[in-house]
Amino acid sequence: MSTGTATPVEDDGRPRRLWVRALQVTVGLGLAVAMLGWGLPYFAQTSWSEVFDILGTVPLWKALLFLGLVVAGLYCYTFVMTGAMPGLSHPRALILNVCGSSVSNLLPGGGAVGLAATYTIAKSWGFSVASVTTMAVVTGVWNVLARVMLPIIAVLGLAWAATDLPATMREAAWAAVVSGLAIVAGFVLAVATDRGARVVGRLADRVVRLVRRGHGSQIERGLTGLRSRVAETVRTGWLSMTLGMVGFFGLYYVLFVLCMQTTGIELPFGQLFAAYAIGRLLTAVGVTPGGLGVTETGTAAALVAWGADPAASMAGVVIFSIFTHLMEVPLGALGWLAWSLMPKATAAEVSEAHLAGRAQASSRRT
């Protein structure tokens, strides 16, 4: 029963954070709708009516093929997760991935919510907070490095083929080079020594304080505490994580090419890869859910700039987005259902699997 008295605002600023979060979600969703409804057809120089005419011609068997490629790509990504968290099986890694991604794709900047879902599921299987945190840090770095490498590869390929390179593509490649080098340098420094971990953590905490008042030294303490675990994970799992990432982005590129061919786009593979690279890099833009709207607009604009038909370009990009972004929501629902029905492992079982994974990694090195 209510006492009828006003509840004071808590000192930790939780009510304010809730309002800020609600505002972020509202603005992010509004931007996504605006970019898809107005920005995408404007920059692609076409209309939604023309796009719907093309979408209606896609046969069912091709849609099933596209779905199969998505599932295959997601399975490749399980090698990234199992390499970063010994003891995690591939089926469980797939469930963990689709559940976290489905939540992340629903909200602007939803990575934090997706990470919370990852912690919940992994802990129910007996994994420690330290193991999940280590996996999140390492896979996050591998993801960012892969996405910044794609424009670099695209620029090199276009230069080798003597293809005209738009100024925006060159700028994106240079930005990717600088970002990639900074990430590699910071990551190596953070895992090399305790002092390096403290320096990187301290710098990260300062950056966070610029946008979040009251932030302490959580990142510095976390990096220092996890340094040895992260270093060991990279040492034993780098090959599995790298090959898994190559398979994931490689299959998604095949899907991208097939989507373009389905709508009648006949650009060279180098230009298609460049447009694909732009889109993958733009997914890191967190103002909309998963970069929705921003990613499609940038990709379609690049295709049209290279001479592709505007309506066909936009239709191909929309199909690709449906299967790589929106399709993760129902796949995530299936993942949540599977998790709720499957038995939960004990900490002792995970410890045994962890030791087996370390032993297997050691045998591969020898």
3-state secondary structure of 191: helix
- Helices in the chain by DSSP H: which ranges? 14-34, 40-44, 48-55, 60-84, 90-104, 111-124, 129-160, 167-192, 194-211, 218-262, 269-282, 294-305, 310-321, 328-341, 347-365
User: Does the residue 113 lie in any domain?
Assistant: yes
- With contact defined as beta carbons under 8 Å apart, do 46 and 311 qualify? yes
Neighbours of 136 (CB within 10 A): 20
User: Does the residue 63 lie in any domain?
Assistant: yes
- With contact defined as beta carbons under 8 Å apart, do 318 and 301 qualify? no
- With contact defined as beta carbons under 8 Å apart, do 296 and 282 qualify? no
User: Does the residue 360 lie in any domain?
Assistant: no
Give CA angle at 21 (17, 26), nearest 5°: 150
User: Does the residue 32 lie in any domain?
Assistant: no
- With contact defined as beta carbons under 8 Å apart, do 83 and 314 qualify? no
User: Does the residue 111 lie in any domain?
Assistant: yes
User: Does the residue 130 lie in any domain?
Assistant: yes
- With contact defined as beta carbons under 8 Å apart, do 353 and 82 qualify? no
Tell me how far apart the alpha carbons of residues 207 and 201 are, in angstroms, rounded to a whole number: 10
Q: Along the 366 residues of the chain, how does pLDDT read in single tens digits?
A: 444 444 444 445 555 555 655 555 565 556 656 666 666 666 666 777 777 788 888 899 999 999 999 999 999 999 999 999 998 999 999 999 999 888 877 665 566 678 888 888 998 898 888 888 889 889 988 988 888 888 888 877 777 765 666 666 666 667 766 776 777 777 777 777 777 777 777 777 776 666 556 666 666 677 777 777 888 888 899 999 999 999 999 999 999 999 999 999 989 998 899 899 988 887 766 556 666 677 888 888 889 888 888 889 889 999 998 899 888 889 999 999 999 998 876 666 666 655 655 554 454 445
- With contact defined as beta carbons under 8 Å apart, do 339 and 95 qualify? yes
Cα 74 to the chain's mean position, in Å?
Answer: 12
- With contact defined as beta carbons under 8 Å apart, do 336 and 99 qualify? yes
Q: Hunting for tokens 């921003």 — which residue is that?
A: 294
Nearest to 309 by CA among 260, 257, 256: 260
- With contact defined as beta carbons under 8 Å apart, do 123 and 137 qualify? no
Owning domain of residue 239: 58-290+319-346
Tell me how far apart the alpha carbons of residues 325 and 322 are, in angstroms, rounded to a whole number: 6
- With contact defined as beta carbons under 8 Å apart, do 127 and 121 qualify? no
Distances (CA, A) of 104 to 184, 229, 288, 289, 359: 25, 26, 10, 7, 34
- With contact defined as beta carbons under 8 Å apart, do 75 and 245 qualify? no
Say how many CA atoms lie within 13 Å of 60 toward its Cβ: 0
Prediction pTM value: 0.78
Sign of CA dihedral 52, 57, 59, 62: negative
- 328 Rama class: left (phi>0) / alpha (psi -120 to 50) / beta: alpha
User: Does the residue 163 lie in any domain?
Assistant: yes
User: Does the residue 36 lie in any domain?
Assistant: no
In the chain, how many domains are there? 1
Tell me how far apart the alpha carbons of residues 239 and 129 are, in angstroms, rounded to a whole number: 24
